[in-house]
């Protein structure tokens, strides 16, 4: 929190200084963009007390998310964290009730602890947004998609909602067919007493804790089992791949399309597998640009198709970070959140 407070104090001072510039009279588009970015005071617009409280709420939720456990009913001493632990059940188990235990347990135990903190977080972030002249935090988020230049490519944040709804309507017929197909396949596995032939898909059966990525349903839903398997997990295991091999393969892909290889410091300093020295770590995959040519990935990678894809995803962030390194600091983030 001390470092966060120092950063907030510095950024607030820089933002106030930037606000003294008449941005509308600046003709250089890139300079104008940087001044506009800096004039947004972000969370530093809060009082010091509320800013520190927001930092505490965020760090507490992160700790609960990464270290919270769900304990088995018939063996209370056996408790699992989300990663790695419950996520493996959600990825691999075909036991309906085990999956339901993991899904409900996470929400009942961890969700209950996080809920009051999350409600406070929403309240504070909405205050941040309004003090920065946005209607709410959702409006503040959508501003990330705005573009004021070049001419002919301007984009307003309110257009995003319309475009998302339009896109969903376009893909809805295909999604409904996919939904029905997956429902039928799940009915074959779990039986009609657990899966309605016309109803919704039980969220705890969809391959991960959030029902977001269906990659892990491939083995249950592959339409043509006799065709070559596109899930490379078994092939990687057979060839005795490890996490380093997975990340080296990701690096080779990016090099093959003309992008940079990883730095020596990347391989030296990244955490690509779960530590074996009993350290408690946050296994959720993330990519980091620590400045001065220091790029890292934090992940507890396993030899699976899902982690193979995640390794490419996280290394993609590093590629963006390395490409942005020649830009001024304020222009080193993605063009918008849809890119990076």
Per annotation, catalytic residue among 127, 251, 314, 319: 314
Residues 98 and 104: their CA atoms lie apart, in Å, by 10
> Rounded CA gap, 24 and 39, in Å?
13
> In angstroms, what is the C-alpha Rg of the chain?
23
End-to-end, the C-alpha distance of the chain in Å comes to 27
CA angle 209/299/109 to nearest 5° reads 35
Tokens coding 232: 């490379």
H-state helical runs in the chain: 2-18, 29-39, 48-67, 87-92, 96-105, 112-131, 137-142, 157-190, 218-221, 233-238, 243-256, 264-269, 305-324
Residues with Cβ within 8 Å of 149's Cβ and at least 6 positions away in sequence, in order, are: 29, 33
Given the structure tokens 């941040």, which residue do they identify? 128
d(CA 114, CA 85): 19
Question: Where do the H-state alpha helices sit in 208-297?
Answer: 218-221, 233-238, 243-256, 264-269
305-306-309-313 Cα dihedral, nearest 10 degrees: -160
H/E run at residue 72: strand 70-72
Is 118 labelled a binding residue?
no
Burial 149-188 (b: 16+ CB within 10 A, else e): eeeeeeeebeebeeeeeeeeeeeeeeeeeeeeebbebbee
Q: Is there a catalytic annotation at residue 314?
A: yes
H helices of 68-152, in order, are 87-92, 96-105, 112-131, 137-142
- Answer yes or no: is 313 a known binding residue: yes
Binding-site positions read 145, 313, 317
Binding-site positions for chloride read 145
Known catalytic residues?
Answer: 314
Binding-site positions for Zn(2+) read 313, 317
């Amino acid at each position: 929190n001390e470092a966060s407070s120092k950063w907030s104090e510095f950024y607030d001072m820089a933002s106030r200084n930037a606000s003294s510039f008449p941005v509308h009279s600046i003709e250089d588009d890139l300079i104008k963009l940087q001044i506009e970015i800096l004039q947004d005071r972000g969370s530093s617009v809060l009082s010091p007390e509320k800013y520190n409280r927001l930092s505490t709420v965020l760090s507490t939720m992160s700790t609960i998310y990464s270290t919270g456990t769900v304990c088995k009913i018939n063996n209370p001493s056996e408790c699992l964290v989300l990663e790695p632990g419950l996520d493996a059940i959600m990825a691999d188990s075909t036991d309906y009730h085990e999956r339901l235990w993991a899904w409900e347990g996470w929400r009942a135990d961890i969700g209950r602890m996080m809920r009051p903190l999350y409600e406070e977080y929403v309240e504070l972030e909405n205050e941040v947004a309004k003090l920065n002249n946005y209607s709410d935090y959702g409006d503040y988020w959508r501003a990330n998609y705005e573009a004021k230049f070049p001419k002919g490519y301007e984009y307003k944040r309110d257009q995003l909602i319309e475009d998302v709804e339009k896109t969903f309507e376009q893909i809805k017929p295909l999604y409904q067919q996919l939904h029905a197909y997956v429902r039928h396949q799940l009915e074959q596995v779990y039986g009609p007493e657990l899966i309605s032939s016309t109803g919704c898909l039980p969220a705890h059966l969809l391959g991960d804790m959030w029902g977001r990525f269906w990659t892990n349903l491939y083995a249950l839903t592959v339409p043509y089992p006799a065709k070559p398997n596109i899930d490379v997990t078994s092939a990687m295991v057979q060839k005795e791949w490890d996490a380093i091999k997975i990340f080296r393969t990701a690096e080779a892909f990016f090099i093959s399309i003309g992008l940079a290889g990883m730095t020596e410091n990347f391989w030296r300093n990244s955490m690509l597998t779960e530590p074996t020295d009993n350290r408690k770590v946050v296994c959720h995959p993330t990519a980091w640009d620590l400045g001065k040519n220091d790029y890292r990935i934090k992940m507890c990678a396993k030899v699976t198709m899902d982690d193979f894809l995640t390794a490419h995803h996280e290394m993609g962030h590093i590629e963006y970070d390395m490409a942005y390194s020649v830009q001024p600091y304020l222009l080193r983030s993605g063009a918008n959140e849809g890119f990076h």
